[in-house]
Amino acid sequence: MPKQPDKLRLNSKQQLISTGKIMTQSKMPKRLTVAQEKLADQLFEIGAIKFGDFKLKLHDKNPQAPLSPIYIDLRMLMRFPAAKAAAIDVYQELIKPLKFDVLADIPTAATPFVASLSDRLNLGMITPRADNKGHGTGAKVDGMLETDRGKTAVLIDDLVTRADSKLEATAILASQGVKVKDIVVLIDRKQGGGEQLTTAGFKLHAALTLEQMLDFYERTGKISQKIHKNIQARLKELNKFLEN
């Protein structure tokens, strides 16, 4: 009779142990929600996920960094109502447990999503301006009321690579008396932005990571294992450069 594999068990260090393999809970793949899987699928189908050699915003400050093997063009969502609706569903799912008074977008990538979310939730939105408005009221935050001072905004963007634009937006809001505790994005590229936000005292909430998306695309047959491994290796090389 063939030997049966040892049963999985959970020890005091919260490790799953099986015959010859140990996997910590932190390394176990996170199960995506139905809304997250739908969004990942829609992004691939509308051509928002692009493979090749790409410069990112981080290359402005790090021109010698290796090129990214993947580019995510979330502005494509505006052209496809069903895909955009899937993104709004995910945003709504992410902000549901959070406590805030008003929505705030980082222009311009997140603006159409936050506008749609505002309509769906019947909740107002404000927009911090990075540029200097030289006419009219010269407002630093569009849509803001005097009564919004002292309130809390949830800050929403499309994705995070590095955190520069998020930190700039939180500083503008803070200068006008609006507090931010939570920052919400659809995708975290896991290239230092989350750590920057944590260091600055903010909590990042992301629906998807690149690793989760690539795992999903291989599992559903959208990319091969070879392509998956190649992209992972190149992302590791880029991340290593950024860490040094």
- Can you give the residue range of the structural domain that contains 150? 33-232
Question: In the numeric block, which tokens belong to residue 86?
Answer: 């899937």
Question: Total structural domains in the chain?
Answer: 1
Q: What is the pLDDT of residue 134?
A: 59
Strands (E), 99-215: 102-105, 125-128, 141-142, 152-156, 159-160, 179-188, 203-209
Q: What is the pLDDT of residue 102?
A: 98
Nearest Cα to 243, choosing from 82, 62, 63? 62
Q: What is the pLDDT of residue 4?
A: 43
Q: What is the pLDDT of residue 153?
A: 98
Provide the 3-class DSSP secondary structure of residue 5: coil
Residue 23 covered by a domain: no
Residue 153 covered by a domain: yes
CATH number at residue 137: 3.40.50.2020
Residue 190 covered by a domain: yes
Per-residue pLDDT of the chain (244 residues; tens, 9 = 90+): 444 444 333 343 333 333 333 333 334 346 899 999 999 999 999 999 999 999 998 899 999 999 999 999 999 999 999 999 999 999 999 999 999 999 999 999 999 999 999 999 999 999 999 877 655 566 899 999 999 999 999 999 999 999 999 999 999 999 999 999 999 999 999 999 999 999 999 999 999 999 999 999 999 999 999 999 999 999 999 999 988 8
Residue 79: exposure state from Cβ atoms within 10 A (0-12, 13-18, ≥19): exposed
Q: What is the pLDDT of residue 136?
A: 58
Residue 186 covered by a domain: yes
Residue 48 covered by a domain: yes
Residue 28 covered by a domain: no
Q: What is the pLDDT of residue 131?
A: 79
Q: What is the pLDDT of residue 244?
A: 81
Residue 2 covered by a domain: no
**What pTM was estimated for this model as a whole?**
0.84
Q: What is the pLDDT of residue 89?
A: 97
Residue 52 covered by a domain: yes
Q: Estimate to the nearest angstrom the gap between the alpha carbon of 54 and the chain centroid.
A: 19
